Amino acid sequence: MKANKVARTFCVESGKHFRLKDCDPAATGHWRSKDHAAEALQQGIARTAELQDKLYAQNNWALLLIFQAMDAAGKDGIIKHVMSGVNPQGCQVFSFKAPSELELQHDFLWRTTRCLPERGHIGIFNRSYYEEVLVVRVHPEILKSQRTPPSLVGKNVWEERYEDIRSFERHMARSGTVIRKFFLHVSKKEQKRRFLARLEEPEKNWKFSAADIRERAHWDDYQTAYEEMISNTATEYAPWYVVPADNKWFTRLVVSTVVVETLESLDLAYPKVDDAKRKELEAAKKILISKK
């Protein structure tokens, strides 16, 4: 099975029949092991770098990659890995934590909108406006603490947020920002194993946060919120990829393949040199050659 077929397996473009329980966090397609996938992974990284160079030179499209996941699913590692070959000049990563006072003074799309990638760039969101239908949904008291006029926060608040997100993403897609969204789907068992590793291995201690254990207690509510989120915001123009995350090497392979495929689907090319520019280049060459 080719890597791109694997990527398609995990793509959700319509939420109609989507059920999270149908997705296996431990799946690895036809890949047997990390070693087996190593070459495909290396190729993906090299190809991403080539394509990014064209994306940057052409300066028409922007690519936005959104990562959402439960704690310890591997967001940081994925971002580090997938971007390991790209030119930092054309790529920016933003992490979104609990909103600041200033951010709460604005609508829920404001803070992320300011961080959208410019044309020619790849933007990565480590968490995003999707937290507004995840953590805020699991903890409704957060919704109360937001400063939206109470008369505007009715029982349809989640449907309204999904609708606003869909419209926003369609607008971005129409303007040339290609959006790909990744839910790194880790199992509860694997999360426990990774948390224990953070507690037991000194070099991983810094990654541990007591808040992670508190959120783990809401596991089922989060799974429901993720399922609803994906069902309501998976579209052709901004699909979700539900990526198995129990094996980090496989998560990396899938994400990297999606990034390559997405860039390959664009009409990327270095800008054409017109006659005037060609003359300018030739004249410059003559000067360089004729002088010391």
| Most distant CA atoms of the chain, gap in Å | 76
The span of 15-23, 71-79, 144-152, 223-231 binding Mg ion (CB under 5 A) equals 71-79
76: contact with ligand ATP by CB under 6 A:
yes
71: contact with Mg ion by CB under 5 A:
yes
249: contact with ligand ATP by CB under 6 A:
no
Shortest Å, Cβ 86 to ligand ATP:
21
Shortest Å, Cβ 215 to ligand ATP:
6
71: contact with ligand ATP by CB under 6 A:
yes
Which among ligand ATP, Mg ion, none contacts residue 48 (Cβ within 5 to 8 A by kind)?
none
Written as one string, the DSSP assignment of the chain is --HHHHHHHTEES--TT--GGGS-TT--TT--SHHHHHHHHHHHHHHHHHHHHHHHHH-S-EEEEEEEESTTS-HHHHHHHHTTTS-GGGEEEEE--SPPHHHHTS-TTHHHHTTPPPTT-EEEEES-GGGGGTHHHH-HHHHHHS-S-GGG--TTHHHHHHHHHHHHHHHHHHTTEEEEEEEEE--HHHHHHHHHHHHHSGGGGGG--HHHHHHHTTHHHHHHHHHHHHHHH--SSS-EEEEE-SSHHHHHHHHHHHHHHHHHTS---PPPP-HHHHHHHHHHHHHHHH--
Shortest Å, Cβ 16 to ligand ATP:
27
Nearer to ligand ATP, 39 or 203 (CB): 203
Nearer to Mg ion, 98 or 288 (CB): 98
Shortest Å, Cβ 123 to ligand ATP:
16
131: contact with Mg ion by CB under 5 A:
no
230: contact with ligand ATP by CB under 6 A:
no
Find how far residue 194's CA is from the centre of its chain: 21
Near ligand ATP in 147-166, by CB under 6 A = none
135: contact with ligand ATP by CB under 6 A:
yes
194: contact with ligand ATP by CB under 6 A:
no
What is the three-state SS of 205-218?
HHHCCHHHHHHHCC
Q: Which residue is nearest to ligand ATP (CB)?
A: 131
Residues 83-122 as x/- pattern, contact with ligand ATP by CB under 6 A:
------------xxxxx-----------------------
Shortest Å, Cβ 183 to Mg ion:
16
Q: Using CB under 6 A, list all residues that contact ligand ATP.
A: 71, 76, 95-99, 126-127, 131-132, 135-136, 142, 209
